Amino acid sequence: MYIKEIKLENFRNYDFEKLKLNEKINVIFGDNAQGKTNILEAIFVSALGKSFRTNKDNELIKENKNYAKLEINFEKNNRNEKINLELSNKKLFFINEIPIKKTSEIIGKINVVLFSPEDIEILRSEPIRRRKFLNIMISQLRPMYIHLMSQYNKILEQRNNYLKQIKYENKLKNNLEIWDEQLSKYGLKIYEYRKEFIEKINNKIKEIHLKTTENIENIDIKYKTNINKENYLINLKKNIEKDIQKGYTSIGIHRDDFEIYINNKNVGIYGSQGQQRSSIISLKLAEAEVVYDEIDDYPVILLDDFMSELDKKRVNGFIKNIKNNQVIITCTEKITLDKMVYNLFKVENAKIEKM
Ligand SMILES: Nc1ncnc2c1ncn2[C@@H]1O[C@H](COP(=O)(O)OP(=O)(O)O)[C@@H](O)[C@H]1O
Ligand SMILES: [Mg+2]
């Protein structure tokens, strides 16, 4: 699939701009704080229903304006499609002009894999960051997953509230059973999805990483969870006393994590900076391949601030490796790519100029 045209209106620092893209490589360059990442963010919002850098939709609206609009024209399975977003005190998405009821229905229409400088945090920060990676990937491919997650989170919140009521208001312990059953029911399904996708990533990443390290580094991803099929409900019950004391639920998929190993060492802990970066790139490339297998089409690859992460040689190598995807790159310098045809755009103070 590929994005043909983007229209931005009052989105972030833009007034009104149009951008026509080719189906291969598009390079957007410009100084810092001019509006490069904002373009990728606009695409991301249209693909996932929300931004990768804020949960507050009104930050996306240009200062002193009361609405923002986005339009993305794209081609998928040889069909022209259009997604529109109107953001004011409400958030309205349209697919081919038809308004959709729930934001979650937008997810997966446009398929993207985003590489951003903050991705390194996947390795370095708390488990919540790694769960976010899994959630974004799986949501794009399994609409059911979004539903399961929102149900699970609701029930979890209710259970946690009830735990506090048992402690402080002497409510009955027995009533927890209702939530435990629900939690394990939804939790197990989420567990199955995560297990499936970590396995899929693992099957792809090994080869990718061997290739980029000249067969030196063996990479492996391990799903870390405190539950499994057999013991979910049992473990919930085992920990009831502890949970009541703490006022929250200690067992379940909301505590999930995964670890990346290179040659049997946890790269998040023992890896060099270079190894950490290259394993994240391999992880993202593996994600792109998994998406391809699932949708039978190539996701759009968004590379934010790519030059800051890699030297020019590696950029060339990297791009050669992703021949069939549309690629949209932002960088601070005008780059030249060997023997490749690409569109070049300059962004300056929220104005986009084709070079
Ligand atoms: N809601 C907003 N209204 C107006 N300007 C904004 C808004 N949000 C961000 N900006 C501006 O957008 C610019 C950052 O854009 P960004 O795309 O992140 O820059 P870069 O070119 O470095 O990637 C900054 O100048 C910031 O002040
Ligand atoms: Mg940027």
pLDDT tens digit string along 275-322?
898 899 899 999 999 999 999 999 999 999 876 655 666 666 677 777
Q: Which atom of ligand 1 is nearest to the CA of 59?
A: 1
Topology classification of domain 1-111+297-355: Rossmann fold (3.40.50)
What is the residue-averaged pLDDT of the chain? 92
DSSP 326: -
pTM of the model: 0.90
**Other C-beta atoms lying within 10 Å of the C-beta of residue 170:** 8
CA distance linking residue 281 with residue 318, whole number of Å: 9
Q: Does position 231 have pLDDT exceeding 80, yes or no?
A: yes
Q: Whose CA is nearest to atom 8 of ligand 1?
A: 12
Q: Which atom of ligand 1 is nearest to the CA of 34?
A: 21
pLDDT given at position 312: 64
pLDDT single digits (tens) 171-182: 888 889 999 999
Cα of 39 from ligand 1 centre, angstroms: 10
pLDDT given at position 274: 84
pLDDT given at position 323: 75
Task: Give counts: helices (H), strands (E), the chain.
Answer: 11, 15
Q: Whose CA is nearest to atom 25 of ligand 1?
A: 33
Put the strands of the sheet holding 300-303 in their side by side order. Answer: 112-115, 300-303, 327-331, 25-29, 342-348, 351-354
pLDDT given at position 215: 87
Cα of 334 from ligand 2 centre, angstroms: 15
pLDDT given at position 58: 95
Instruction: Rounding to the nearest 10 degrees, give the CA dihedral for residues 282, 285, 286, 288.
Output: 170
Say if 1-111+297-355 and 119-295 have the same CATH topology: no
Q: Does position 69 have pLDDT exceeding 90, yes or no?
A: yes
Cα of 80 from ligand 2 centre, angstroms: 29
Q: Whose CA is nearest to atom 15 of ligand 1?
A: 35
Q: Which atom of ligand 1 is nearest to the CA of 62?
A: 3
Rg over alpha carbons for the chain, rounded to the nearest Å, is 22
Domain ranges in the chain are 1-111+297-355, 119-295
Cα of 116 from ligand 2 centre, angstroms: 9
pLDDT single digits (tens) 99-157: 999 988 999 899 999 999 889 899 999 999 999 999 999 999 998 999 999 999 999 99
Cα of 32 from ligand 1 centre, angstroms: 9
Task: Please give the helix or strand (H or E) that residue 245 lies within, else none.
Answer: helix 240-246
Among 40-44, 102-106, 211-215, 256-260, which stretch is predicted with the lowest mean pLDDT? 211-215
Put the strands of the sheet holding 257-262 in their side by side order. Answer: 219-224, 257-262, 265-266
pLDDT given at position 310: 57
Residues flanking ion ligand 2, Cβ below 5 Å: 36-37
Provide residues with CB under 6 Å of ligand 1.
12-13, 30, 32-38, 59, 61-63
Which CATH number is associated with domain 119-295?
A: 1.20.1050.90
